[in-house]
Chains A and B, each alone.
Chain A
């Protein structure tokens, strides 16, 4: 092994830029992620271990610095660390009953930003994304065209769109078309 160079990481949307002045569409930087499943009794221990309070209300998230916990179901979260920290180890340190699975490479993310971000996403997502209904911090596993996405509002005019890597070029393409229309 000693003579072998370490394999380099190649994200599926590397180098792509899309969208319009109304809504830019850019690939998110690589992050680490776990699919976390746990019963209610484990939530506080896991929250402490992960350093972010796991939300228990539908469509909500919690964030600490660059770590985000997104509620996906009554016993299901997607935890994202934008710095790429070892979330598996953090979850394991809780010593509470849970299932953590590394999905850092299964998912990839697209950032949609700008005044037209809502409209761009609504080109393929039937949810009501108005601020009153889908405020900053809201998240939802939903559909976008023919792909499943996890939508996470990070700011009034910015969304993180998580999808499986092989759907990412479809998601990126449709978001870009939606973003162009959002400029009109």
Chain B
């Protein structure tokens, strides 16, 4: 027998099937199917944790997802450890390690419980009051203190070795909850032929039938009927039944997120199984059948271990075969708790008293209590409890005063009635309405294609629930287009009709300012705290919630919201609807980061775009840099070289011999159609009509406002076909920009755009020996200066494969850009390299490319421009056609601010000390001695050590820059001021002769 509280013959678990686990180091035996909570209770362990603020001893309060107290640290092995696991949800598996939290040095002796004696200093809103002043103490004292004190569990430090899966799925009808209502609805929808998904957070279907053994459906005990129905549903082709699956978020357009806990209950885990699976469901209709949650009673010291919800007591007895005590009292405002007393009494457990704060409980339950010989005190309240680490007695008094009677108990089951679970309905943006007669919020106005059935809809009667659910299931199926036939009829009956329920503080909560009558167990919020908030001027429930933190713990106030609201309404002297209800937010219960992240980790976190030559570059020891999602070869260090040395070597080699560069990531757009030139005329500042096939031109693209958007070389392949290049990072947005104008402004043009970025591998061969390197590989193209001058393009073959060969240069050297279909990229690169290397050429990366282009004063859009730079500012007026009647940005360029004198212009800067390299982004001033704030003239956009110039070079945007040529300006830095001379931007080969080889 596992556990002293396990009652022979009770419950549904199999005694022979055991599992061993440890709790705070102590080895315990559980039965298969036990939750951690039921297993601990079977060993008479109620004390499982310390409360958040006061460190009060806390026990297991519930048997479900609403649990605020029993949050434990559960681990499978060193790396698989999770804090704040609800003991009432987590199933035991063999070898599991469980530890209590928020206690030191031990659970039974916790130093932090000193807070309980200091509680007058921790009144509601104490954060806002106590830690106000002095400001400096926040970082060093208050915040670290609060953070340490506030954390419940301890975050795992090792990477999570488990994996997680994700699935999108569509269905006709999604049913949330597989209790009586959910099963009936799913059955009706499925029989009508709809594609149905049913999910339930528990390990098996049945919902409230886990505890309520008095229900009979179709002549069978409720739980048995549920299992049979679940099996029948699971066997249907059109039904997916998901247990251990919580619908945690209801989003727009009936998009509902579910998390399925796949392996957390298994001892031996198949490594191919995900730990959890995220289901992203798009349902035509959603049926909410998520039941109701029992509330606790609010009275003095109602938080001692051993005090729990009546339905939880029934669940532990009827499902798990565990009696929660040997002498169990009942304190209730609702008939349902009587049945807990009946079940316990019949199982041989002493039930000394049922305390009912109502004068008139239901007749039937009262009579049954009498028959079973249980004392019932109506019109009485529990006004206090005693017991250090477990409840030992309750003090009972007649309502309205009178003497107290002390009754010894070792457990107390409480019920203030049931709160319909409208969380998902509220998340769907549905509006709840308050039903004054039953004091509960119910679904009111629906915002989405959704229906609520059963307890979450306020339907109490069993037959009414069944009928409502069957009708909803069929209606939803039909509305979703299902055309099947079979109608379903079911009959059900309960052992007893239930009446009653109360919200707010019971008599025993007292008006006393020191009485601790808890409403929110997880955040240690008492009835008095709500009253204090009202006294201090909080009138909206949203303010009261934030001031007291009621309902703000990870259980989202599943137990406390209604009590808090009722107490606030009473203190304010208002009706409950006038005080309002806080909004329910996703997720319904906490969701692991693993599930949210799902597949998006490691190499699947983000696509790493690699060029066709990547493997070669990697093998050569290249360092890579990220440019957007691309991995680009940054520089190729030889053994022992620093980055600076490698880049200096590459820069020299390109200009002295030649270099080979992977330019594949350059954006490429093929512009095709009879109106292609007309379209480019409109998109670029340059004129394209006069560009002959076989020639290229550098083009500038503006936004409507006249500022530079992108640039690139455009080659004309035929009258009706252009090969446009863009910056690497600009490729997608430039295509979108062009497509946008084509579709909305120029739809009359017969031209089409296709991204060809990835069609071509691009190998730039630059330097004096560039022609010599490629010449023997090229077929059908005359490489001479006459036939293929600078800025031209020809189609032919290279290494036997079709190629587009561009004669162009971003280095100022004789240069070619070899474009071959991407799958040939590596082979052609290797062929070029086989010729280049023996000649003394090098492979070079993006850093060298940047330096070489800066030596020539070629700009990089996005580095030397920032979205406020016009072509003239960048010294590129020559590229703006004066003859064209229209192009995107032509009007923007005429704006007064864009043509005024003194705009920032791109110029070169030469430091007086040639060894000093400026910092990119540094500010530039005319007078270094000007008092602060100084007049800033502009900033450095590019700065490098230029190996070919033997000094530092820089480019900068400077107000009235071109008029300052030769002037000395200053760059103030934190430790010194650097004197610079304004120059033009061409630092190397000013005549440009090298371009022609």
Contacts and interface: CB of A to CB of B under 8 A. Distances in A.
B610 A169 contact: yes
B610 A10 contact: no
A177 interface: yes
Contacts of B673: 97, 99
A37 B669 CA distance: 14
Interface in A91-121: 97, 99-107, 119
Contacts of A165: 612, 758, 822-823
B630 to A, nearest CB: 7
Interface stretch (B200-208, B773-781, B876-884): B773-781
Nearest to B262: A184
Nearest to B167: A122
Most chain A beta carbons < 10 A, residue from B603, B608, B823: B823
B606 interface: yes
B827 A145 contact: no
Contact of B799 (A4, A97, A174): A4
Interface in B593-632: 599-600, 603-604, 606-612, 629-630
B907 to A, nearest CB: 38
B670 A101 contact: yes
A36 B630 CA distance: 27
A105 B823 CA distance: 6
Given A1-B800, A97-B750, A128-B170, A174 B824 contact: no
Nearest to A102: B759
Contacts of B823: 9-12, 30, 105, 165
Interface in B386-441: none
A164 B759 CA distance: 9
Given A122-B169, A126-B282, A7 B801 contact: yes
B827 A10 contact: yes
Contacts of B169: 122
Nearest to A167: B607
A87 to B, nearest CB: 13
B280 interface: yes
Contact of A174 (B282, B599, B821): B599
Interface stretch (B271-279, B326-334, B526-534, B681-689): B271-279
Nearest to A76: B752
Contacts of A6: 799-801
Nearest to B163: A177
Contact of B167 (A8, A169, A180, A181): A181
B300 to A, nearest CB: 51
A137 interface: no
A93 B800 CA distance: 25
Given A97-B674, A101-B672, A7 B758 contact: no
A146 interface: yes
Interface in A1-49: 1, 3-12, 20, 30, 35, 37, 39
B828 interface: yes
B749 to A, nearest CB: 12
Interface in A58-110: 75, 97, 99-107
Contacts of B752: 37, 75, 99
Contact of A106 (B272, B759, B798, B800): B759
Contacts of B967: none
B274 A181 contact: yes
A14 to B, nearest CB: 9
A145 B282 contact: no
Contacts of B760: 105
Interface in B55-87: none
A151 to B, nearest CB: 13
A169 B629 CA distance: 13
B317 to A, nearest CB: 35
Most chain A beta carbons < 10 A, residue from B165, B755, B797: B165
A130 B759 contact: no
Nearest to A104: B821
B166 interface: yes
A3 B468 CA distance: 84
A173 B604 contact: yes
B272 A184 contact: yes
Contact of B606 (A7, A37, A146, A178): A146
B607 A146 contact: yes
A124 to B, nearest CB: 7
A51 interface: no
Given A7-B824, A106-B822, A174-B604, A128 B282 contact: yes
B727 interface: no
B272 A180 contact: yes
A3 to B, nearest CB: 8
A100 B759 CA distance: 13
Contacts of A20: 272
A16 to B, nearest CB: 13
A103 B754 contact: yes
A105 B801 contact: no
Contact of A10 (B612, B758, B778, B779): B612
B607 A166 contact: yes
Contacts of A173: 603-604
A97 to B, nearest CB: 6
A105 B762 CA distance: 13
Contacts of A183: 272
A158 to B, nearest CB: 19
Interface string B375-386: 000000000000
Contact of B827 (A3, A8, A130): A8
Contacts of B824: 7-10, 105
A147 B607 contact: yes
Given A145-B599, A166-B611, A181-B165, A105 B672 contact: no
Contact of B828 (A7, A127, A180): A7
A75 to B, nearest CB: 8
A125 interface: yes
A184 B263 CA distance: 12
Contacts of A145: 599-600, 604
B858 to A, nearest CB: 26
A125 B751 CA distance: 32
Most chain B beta carbons < 10 A, residue from A101, A103, A128: A101
A154 interface: no
B168 A7 contact: no
Interface in B148-207: 163, 165-170, 195
A104 B672 CA distance: 17
A4 B612 CA distance: 21
B553 interface: no
Given A166-B609, A166-B611, A173-B604, A123 B756 contact: no
B166 A35 contact: no
Contacts of A103: 754, 756, 759
B486 to A, nearest CB: 21
Interface in B794-839: 797-801, 820-824, 826-828, 831
B609 A167 contact: yes
Given A10-B823, A105-B822, A126 B280 contact: yes
Interface in B439-460: none
Contacts of B612: 10, 12, 165
Contacts of A7: 798-801, 820, 824, 827-828, 831
B757 interface: yes
Given A7-B828, A10-B827, A145-B600, A106 B166 contact: no
11 contacts: A7-B800, A10-B827, A20-B272, A97-B674, A101-B672, A105-B760, A106-B755, A106-B822, A165-B823, A170-B603, A173-B604
The 6 closest A-B pairs by CB, nearest first: A6-B800, A7-B827, A166-B609, A37-B752, A99-B752, A170-B607
Given A7-B828, A177-B165, A178-B167, 11 more contacts: A1-B777, A1-B797, A3-B776, A6-B800, A97-B750, A99-B673, A101-B670, A101-B754, A101-B756, A106-B822, A127-B168
Interface of B: 163, 165-170, 195, 262, 272-274, 277, 280, 282, 599-600, 603-604, 606-612, 629-630, 670, 672-674, 750-752, 754-760, 776-779, 797-801, 820-824, 826-828, 831
